[in-house]
Structure formats: structure tokens, C-alpha cells
Amino acid sequence: MKKWLVFIKFGLVGSINTIIDFIVYAIVTGVGANFLVAQILSYSCGVLNSYFVNRTWTFKQTKRASIGEFLRFLAVNVVTLSITLYLLDLFYSKQGMNLFLSKFLVTAIGTIVNFIGTKMLVFTKEKTELTKIQDKKEWRKI
């Protein structure tokens, strides 16, 4: 049940991120910006919210945040953003699908990719050897 609870929490946070994403996207495209530029800006706003809320609430990280963790989080999100940019262009520009339907489908696919990457690479329970070494260095500072 706990695994499902984490996914449900991730989904709830993702829903908030998606609302932020769609609002920013609508505003930016509404003022005439390119749809791909709008995707980058709107996705970035959701990413910032996602990091802080998922870190503390979904994955209950109690250790101090590290640069490495944040960089891994950004890497997962850059991959997700790249996939969503490609698919958004494919669905909207190449297939002629409605822009907001395309955005909706891309968001659903991006959510799945992002959850897997975040769970496996960012907010992990197992410590890697590098994380253990970093933790020892932090402990010695105390």
C-alpha cells in the first residue's frame, strides 16, 4: 500500500504542477509566444514546485538537500522536458492535433517518465557509495 501512496502523492503534486504548468502555458501562448518556448517556461514553473513539495511531502526526505540531488532532479526533468517538446511538436505540428489536446497527452506521458526517473534516480531510499561518502563528510562537519 505504501508504494501506491507514494504514487498517489506524486500524482497529487503533479496535478498542482500541471495546473501551474497549464496556467503559465495559456498566459505565455496567449501573449503570442511560440508554443515550444511556452512549454519550456511553463514546465520550469511546475518543476520548481515539484522539487520542493515532492522532496518534503511525497518522498519524505529528511536529510539536507544536496546539490547532487537537485542536479539529478534537474537532469530527470530535462529528459522529461525533451521528450515532451518532441511529442508536442509531433502531435501538434506534424499530426495537426489540437494544441491543448496535444499538451494534455504530452503531460500524461511526461508524468509517467518523470515519476520513474524521480523515484529511481533522485529521491531514493538506498544510498549509493558516493552518497555514503558525502554523508560521512557532512557528519564530520558537525
The tally of domains found in the chain comes to: 1
Residue 100 near residue 23, CB atoms below 8 Å? no
Q: Which residue has the higher pLDDT, 101 or 1?
A: 101
Q: Which among 2, 80, 18, 3 is positioned nearest to 53, based on CA atoms? A: 18
Q: How far, CA to CA in Å, does 66 sit from each of 28, 46, 61, 75, 135?
A: 32, 20, 11, 14, 10
State the burial class of residue 108 (Cβ atoms within 10 Å of its Cβ: 0-12, 13-18, 19+).
exposed
Q: Report pLDDT digits (tens) over 15-26.
A: 999 899 999 999
Q: How far apart are CA 39 and CA 113, in angstroms?
A: 17
- Expressed as residue numbers, the domain containing 109 is 2-141
Q: Report pLDDT digits (tens) over 44-96.
A: 999 999 999 999 999 888 888 889 999 999 999 999 999 999 999 999 999 99
Q: How far apart are CA 36 and CA 85, in angstroms?
A: 7
